[in-house]
Amino acid sequence: MEISEKIELFRESFPFWEKLSEDDKKIFINSSYEMSFSKGVNVHDGNECTGVILVKKGSLRIYMLSEDGKEITLYRLFEGDLCMLSASCALTSITFDVFIDSEENSECLIVSGCVFEEVSTRLPEVKIFALETALSRFSDVMWVMQQILFMSMDKRLAIFLLDEVAKTGRDNIKLTHEQIAKYMGSAREVVTRMVKYFVSEGLISSSRSEGIKILDKKKLRELIL
Amino acid sequence: MEISEKIELFRESFPFWEKLSEDDKKIFINSSYEMSFSKGVNVHDGNECTGVILVKKGSLRIYMLSEDGKEITLYRLFEGDLCMLSASCALTSITFDVFIDSEENSECLIVSGCVFEEVSTRLPEVKIFALETALSRFSDVMWVMQQILFMSMDKRLAIFLLDEVAKTGRDNIKLTHEQIAKYMGSAREVVTRMVKYFVSEGLISSSRSEGIKILDKKKLRELIL
């Protein structure tokens, strides 16, 4: 990555960029490096400090992992998004572990967590930015928690399917029930049962070759209300 | 509450207190007021901005509430603790609602959220304190989420019972199964089933008059490992 490209990305991602001294700008530039991740690869693994991740291309999935391998998707990052939770040295008040996988071939710029921490100790606006970015994810996670704990399965699946087609712009979803269950923090059997019910109601069709196809978006939307 | 008492409480709760100008100290003193809550009373109700709550005496329970009235306890506040999530005007990145009830007769000092916001916009150390306090609760909530979503019910109940006796210093727990279920984010039936199992294993005894009594702390601890 060219230095000019790095600077452009920093300027877009960090609202404090223009207030930095030339020396501090250099610190960010020199302590950051580009990384490419193929689809499905692990990007950040729990308690290590990977650093602040800026997504240049692709998408990342942030999730919790239980000891026996159960996953709950917390949120996703897309082009232009930024991950602070992967920079544990810069966020001492965060004591839990998250995991990050790439969902597509992704290109990221990574800023060393320790360097970010060093700068943020000197500059309150950098510290405030780090804390606010992390805190805004608190709201995302609470939303997921409400979904999982409070909402009935039909609503949750309807939301998931509509989100997916909105994201991809296509009418079919090429994910296995196992994958959908993982993303929703549910069990495969529960998803399979609900998919069958949706098929019987004429909301979707489901086949091995085509995956899930939305047939009645309007009715699906009504389920959510 | 005497002004000197307020100042003492602020000094203990706010690490930035001594750095404030005399004028700013006065702002905090004049915009804060004492409130007493009887046991079981609602202290903060979702989307309103109650303000920053300093617990002088008693204890508060912070929880999520679903549309149909299901509750999940997120964490508790005790003497000397402070709640930022109830000051929504001072935390724009928090978009979810929490509810707060008093669990004992409690005395609190409440600082207006808007005043706190005004001061924190001028003084980065106040802003950083507010964000860090809120963010540290993110970790608590993630812990609860992991408990609920990943952990088996026997472990969860064992942890809950041991926590309770550690907190109260007594060997018996005078809570109904309904109450325990509420605190754990579970259903009464599930708690009743597990209590029966613990009784049959000789870990606890359970009676209407005495509540739950811990008989074998060692075995209960082994369940958690």
Instruction: Give the model confidence (pLDDT) of A1-18 as tens digits.
Output: 889 999 999 999 999 999
For residue A133, give both structure tokens.
């970015």
The Cα A145–Cα B97 span in angstroms is: 13
Integer Cα distance of B40 and A138 in angstroms: 27
Chain B residues near any Cβ of chain A (below 8 Å): 64, 66-68, 70, 72, 91, 93-96, 124-125, 127-128, 131-132, 134-139, 141-143, 145-146, 148-150, 185
Q: Calculate ∠ Cα A158-A164-A168, nearest 5°.
A: 150
pLDDT of residue B68: 65
Nearest CA in chain A to B148: A149
Mean pLDDT of A35-55: 92
Write a three-state SS string for B200-225. HCCCEEEECCCEEEECCHHHHHHHHC
Across the interface, of A68, A125, A135, the residue whose CB is closest to B131 is A135
A141 contacts B94? CB cut-off 8 A: no
Which of B70, B94, B146 lies closest to A138 in CB terms?
A: B94
Q: Does B94 contact A148 at a Cβ distance shorter than 8 Å? A: no
Q: Which domains occur in chain A, in start order?
A: 3-139 (2.60.120.10), 151-224 (1.10.10.10)
pLDDT, position B67: 67
pLDDT digits (tens), chain B, 225 positions: 889 999 999 999 999 999 999 999 999 999 999 999 999 999 999 878 899 999 999 999 999 887 667 778 888 899 999 999 999 888 888 888 899 999 999 999 999 999 999 999 999 999 999 999 999 988 888 888 877 777 777 888 998 899 888 888 888 898 988 888 888 777 777 788 889 888 888 899 998 888 899 999 998 888 887
Task: Find the distance separating the first CA and the last CA of chain A, reported in whole Å.
Answer: 46
Mapped onto helix, strand or coil, the DSSP state of residue A101 is strand
Could you give the C-alpha distances from B56 to A33, B2, B59, B81, B101, in angstroms and in order? 49, 13, 9, 8, 15
| Burial class, A200, CB count within 10 angstroms (exposed 0-12 / middle 13-18 / buried 19+) | exposed
The answer to whether residues B221 and B162 touch, using CB atoms and an 8 Å cutoff, is: yes
Spatial neighbors of A35 by CB under 8 A, at least 6 apart, are: A107, A108, A109, A110
Q: Which residue of A has its CA nearest to B187?
A: A149
Residues of chain A contacting residue B186, judged by C-beta atoms under 8 Å apart: none
Q: Which long-range contacts (CB under 8 A, 24 or more apart) does B205-214 make?
A: B210/B172, B210/B174, B211/B172, B211/B173, B211/B174, B211/B175, B212/B161, B212/B172, B212/B173, B212/B175, B213/B171, B213/B172, B213/B173, B214/B161, B214/B162, B214/B165, B214/B171, B214/B172, B214/B173
Taking Cα atoms as reference points, which of B29, B110, B128, B42 lies closest to residue A132? B128
Find the helix or strand (DSSP H, E) in which A109 lies: strand A106-111
From the number of C-beta atoms within 10 Å of its C-beta (0-12, 13-18, 19+), residue B40 rates as exposed
Q: Is B132's CB within 8 Å of A93's CB?
A: yes
ipTM: 0.74
Tell me which chain B residues have a C-beta less than 8 angstroms from the C-beta of A225.
none
Higher-confidence residue of B186 and A113: namely A113
DSSP per-residue string spanning B64-88: EE-TTS-EEEEEEEETT-EE-TT-G
Q: Report the C-alpha gap between B59 and A5 in whole angstroms.
A: 53
> Do residue B66 and residue A124 have CB atoms under 8 angstroms apart?
no
Instruction: List CB contacts of A47: < 8 A, sequence separation 6 or more.
Output: A88, A97
Of the residues A96, A97, A120, the best mutation for testing chain B's interface (the one with the most B CB atoms within 10 Å of its CB) is A96
**B56 closest CA partner among B3, B12, B101:** B12
**Which pLDDT belongs to residue B186?**
73
> Contact A50/A87 with Cβ under 8 angstroms?
yes
The reply to whether residue A149 touches residue B148, judged by beta carbons under 8 angstroms, is yes
**If you count residue pairs, one on A and one on B, with CB atoms under 8 Å apart, how many are there?**
97
Interface contact A139-B96, CB threshold 8 A: yes
Interface mutation target, options B142, B155, B224, B225, chain A, most CBs of A under 10 Å? B142
The pLDDT tens digits of the residues spanning A72-93 come to 888 889 999 999 999 988 888 8
* Chain B residue numbers touching A143 (CB-CB < 8 A): 96
Indicate if the pLDDT at residue A109 is higher than 80.
Answer: yes
Q: From edge to edge, which strands make up the β-sheet containing B42-45?
A: B42-45, B99-102, B59-65, B71-78
**Tens of pLDDT, residues A187-225:** 777 788 889 888 888 899 998 888 899 999 998 888 877
Per-residue tokens: A91 = 């966020």
Chain A nearest CA to B124, separation (Å): 6
* A138/B138 CB distance under 8 A: yes
> Looking at the predicted structure, is the pLDDT value of residue A30 above 90?
yes
**What pLDDT, on the 0 to 100 scale, is given for residue B15?**
96
